[in-house]
A and B are shown apart, each in its own frame.
Chain A
């Protein structure tokens, strides 16, 4: 009994936080491995179309992004425009330069597997724009494309 009483008088020892850095580093490592950097900031308003039959692109294969939508900054006008990398470009011809530039940054092998993701607004972009984009891509032989689409929610 005396032993018991003795214990009661002592304070509860503080939990050791020595292992906290290790835990945090493990979480950090997890995030580093499973995530990818956000692509450049969007300067155009885009609501992706939805679909059911979508396929995820392989993260290890190169993806070039072509964005189309109405500019957020009204100085660029109120009709749908094209954004490549960080800039809203004046015309469709820039796509060729853009693809060539991206290609020069990669090896031949990576270029063969590269995909161009077309990210366009579902209502504000019409097929005329998509058609022009695709024609430019055909000019530079970038034939593998992907229409960026959001997963349709199950409760329709």
Chain B
């Protein structure tokens, strides 16, 4: 056995190894996160399903993009993307109760409780599909009640109101996204305003809280604001325009 103490391994090259690893990771990765405009597609409709409900003209805000990427908003040509913001805001709030805009509903705590009481009474006797419908309704009114508790009595568009985007097959994707983006701008401005009045913070700042630190309270606030100004955008099947 050697009497000499074991010599320490020379560690100076570890720095070099670490540097090579570092260089590899930097090259192979990206800091950019995936971001964009979220959307939910409608479910596939089987042909046997019942006819779509009657559509009332005033409940639809039609934005049309033709094959030359020109905009037609509610029958008027020569609109720019920026016009959409105001049109959407007017459509969603109908500030003057105009006849040609969707009817507004006022949701109050009293009304929610009243409807819930009726529904729960009906639930006792309901069976089969009727029970399912009542359960859905109860859930709906409960979310409304949650919202009312947070933001107080609110005014919202009736549930049939929809923003519809019509386009041609040759419309470019970029233009379509531009339109969607502007619709969201209009909606988010309204939401920001509502959140500012109710909670003293903007909706976008609530929304941008990272998922890991978002509390239940934040989520409830976001849902309440979404109840007041829901995102209802549909995409009509393409046609020659």
B35-A21 in contact (CB<8A): no
B residues in contact with A17, CB < 8 Å: 12, 15
Alpha-carbon gap, A35 to B30, bound state (A): 6
Going nearest first, the 9 A-B pairs with the smallest beta carbon separation are: A122-B174, A35-B29, A51-B181, A53-B184, A128-B169, A24-B18, A49-B177, A149-B36, A148-B36
**CB-CB under 8 A for A53 and B31, given A21-B11, A147-B177:** no
In angstroms, how far is the closest chain B Cβ from the Cβ of A117?
A: 6
Interface residue? B176 (CB, 8 A): yes
In angstroms, how far is the closest chain B Cβ from the Cβ of A34?
A: 7
**CB-CB under 8 A for A55 and B38, given A24-B15, A126-B169, A128-B169:** yes
Q: Which of A1-54 contact B (CB under 8 A)?
A: 17-18, 20-21, 24-25, 27-28, 31-32, 34-38, 49, 51-54
A36-B238 in contact (CB<8A): no
Interface residue? B201 (CB, 8 A): no
Instruction: Identify A54's interface contact among B36, B167, B178, CB under 8 A.
Output: B36
Interface residue? B76 (CB, 8 A): no
A residues in contact with B1, CB < 8 Å: none
In angstroms, how far is the closest chain B Cβ from the Cβ of A150?
A: 8
Interface residue? B51 (CB, 8 A): no
A147-B211 in contact (CB<8A): no
B residues in contact with A117, CB < 8 Å: 34, 36
Interface residue? A137 (CB, 8 A): yes
Alpha-carbon gap, A59 to B173, bound state (A): 25
Q: Which of A121-156 contact B (CB under 8 A)?
A: 121-123, 125-131, 134, 137-139, 141-149, 151
Interface residue? A56 (CB, 8 A): yes
Interface residue? B213 (CB, 8 A): no
**CB-CB under 8 A for A143 and B41, given A55-B35, A58-B211, A120-B173:** yes
A145-B168 in contact (CB<8A): no
Q: Which residue of A lies closest to B188 (CB)?
A: A53
Interface residue? A66 (CB, 8 A): no
Interface residue? A63 (CB, 8 A): yes
Alpha-carbon gap, A98 to B185, bound state (A): 33
List B residues at the A interface (Cβ < 8 Å).
Answer: 11-12, 14-15, 18-19, 21-22, 25-26, 28-31, 33-44, 167-174, 176-178, 180-181, 184-185, 188, 207, 211, 235, 237-238
Interface residue? A57 (CB, 8 A): yes
**CB-CB under 8 A for A130 and B176, given A54-B35, A58-B211:** yes
**CB-CB under 8 A for A126 and B37, given A51-B178, A55-B207:** no
In angstroms, how far is the closest chain B Cβ from the Cβ of A113?
A: 11
B residues in contact with A130, CB < 8 Å: 173, 176
B26-A31 in contact (CB<8A): yes
A143-B36 in contact (CB<8A): no
B172-A125 in contact (CB<8A): yes
A147-B171 in contact (CB<8A): no
A32-B25 in contact (CB<8A): yes
A residues in contact with B168, CB < 8 Å: 127
Instruction: Identify A123's interface contact among B19, B174, B185, B207, CB under 8 A.
Output: B174
Instruction: Identify A55's interface contact among B12, B14, B36, B177, CB under 8 A.
Output: B36
In angstroms, how far is the closest chain A Cβ from the Cβ of B215?
A: 16
Q: Which residue of A lies closest to B173 (CB)?
A: A125
A127-B37 in contact (CB<8A): no
Interface residue? A79 (CB, 8 A): no
A54-B37 in contact (CB<8A): yes
B39-A145 in contact (CB<8A): yes
